[in-house]
Structure 1
């Protein structure tokens, strides 16, 4: 007799809602392409409002603060070094001419001492279009040929400039200057500024504990915070055209860490019109579209934040790229690898000195010499190979076997054929060709 065994098996699956499908499609678009896609959609303007450009109340959700790793040493010295008391008359200020002129008009009132005013001019060279300082006070003191204490005293005077928040060294300092002027800088508000990542993540309970107040007070402070301007210098930006396509993400220094933001000049933000009345279907569709855009923005920031945290040494110019793959990012963020692939392929990142694609910050790992060792990235191995070849005896160039032996103690276990492949990728000629060129 044949028995039939019936049983129930529970299985979970992700429902592919229209909002989710839309958000996934948005992942593969740059900010500019996303704006174009929204323009192609038939949006009910009586219900939805699209904004691109000036800082809005949504600025906090479009930024992420990234703390430096514990071992991070303070920033590298600036590329331009001048003697004590020197000046660089050919150097172009970072900020827009309108912002520079606005601050210069206030200098006689802000900085009374004529000698200190010369130091203030050096600070102006480091003023970003956002109104923040692009360098550390120690860097500026070195360039101005003065003591650190004197430079800090001049900075305190400059931070009295209008609009409030100029010459801040970090997001928290920029907001604190404005909060103090508005009479908002109570001890709980100061704690709120020290815990902005919790606010951006919506961790209201944890934020209430950190601030020593209840959830209602946290929400009240958060509403006040959103009225402050994280970029007080942006109003003076004349929109000088730049060569090439505008970056989707902007990375700038924030104290000893980083501040990552979606480019406000290109990223579209949707919101429901206040008091809008429309049929239920239209409201549902509008909310779904807003949710899809917000999900896209949050995912982009999550992926980019993980990349920047992993490549901190490279971004500071202290080390080559670390080994980092799409699978590593997917595992760290909890996102599907296809989502990570879409984001890294589509978006670009603006650094203080250049703009590059997110995908260029990824690198496969080279075969490790020891299993427990942190693997070197392929890019790190290529750079090391170039350095070894640069220092070799031109009359007796290194063989591929010799290169493999030299790389082994540094943690890369490469076969001769792998060395030959990497050498070709690095643009290094074969041994015989290098000997002919000697």
Structure 2
């Protein structure tokens, strides 16, 4: 029997490896402002050639676009009148949380009555006296239930006014102190931007007021809006801001969210360290310019979404943007990962502004996100005692959009939005809504 013999052969294989610089560039490209700030602080602590200047502190006039409709220039603070009924996703969330409280029968009746008068903003749309009359309860009984409902997420829902909405968020963020309480009790002065007068009235320093303003500015004045189809559930600083200009919508990087990175020679550093610092600076600049370029293209395609909300989203894919900008699709995916855009309609995740087209073959084209938004609008406007079935929604959407979808597709959309079936949505309408138009909060 022959013994096995060892043989030496030569083969050729190909393998792609990313060097450290390319790995860092990809990581920076897909990092949001908060993550990038933390990363740069770590790098500056290790590399003597890097200098990190803090992001410029916003002035009292520098409100994020999400505050549009809440801040009324020259006339104090007020909440713009809501034109849509409460989001069915918000109502489904609230009713589910109420069920988990296992309340006594009378407390449950009060809780449902309070839920029925929620506005899309997440604020209460009726005075407690109306809830008291409907449920035959006393003010302490209603307030006791309300206090429990105000512990629901997102923080700030079931607030009776803007000041209370912000106070709940400040408490949750462990940022509520005597100075914060004083500023929240004078929101009308905060809206005017009179820093000296506000500091004097609050019996504190201008620096303390600015510090509280920075915290308030990042809060969400309409927490209920997070339940819109593409809203970002967050209160941190956005990466991009969209504002109205005389020629249309404009978009820019949110400079108050990012520190400024500089490279300076240092005796304590090495030549390699200097090269790494310059390389990092180029990566950050490339990340910012790419993010802004992608943001501009998204804005150009989604003008109606910024104006109308989710129902205005046009069909758009990452492949569409990649072709238009000359990037690889993976680059678009990395840029929009975790990045957000703040607009007068609220804060949006960039990733969720992409949606494939429905329709075609003789039918109009509409994005899947817009179809879900229209479905939610139909459910929000339905008679609560006679809610629409999935079959009825299918027919109504076909009439509304000209696109006919399968009933199971509508059911899938409804479940994705957290909206229960028609039988579970059926309930008695309790109270009429009241408008907050023109009401000053503070």
TM-score (norm 2): 0.49
TM-score (norm 1): 0.49
Higher RCO, Cα 8 Å, sep 6+: 2
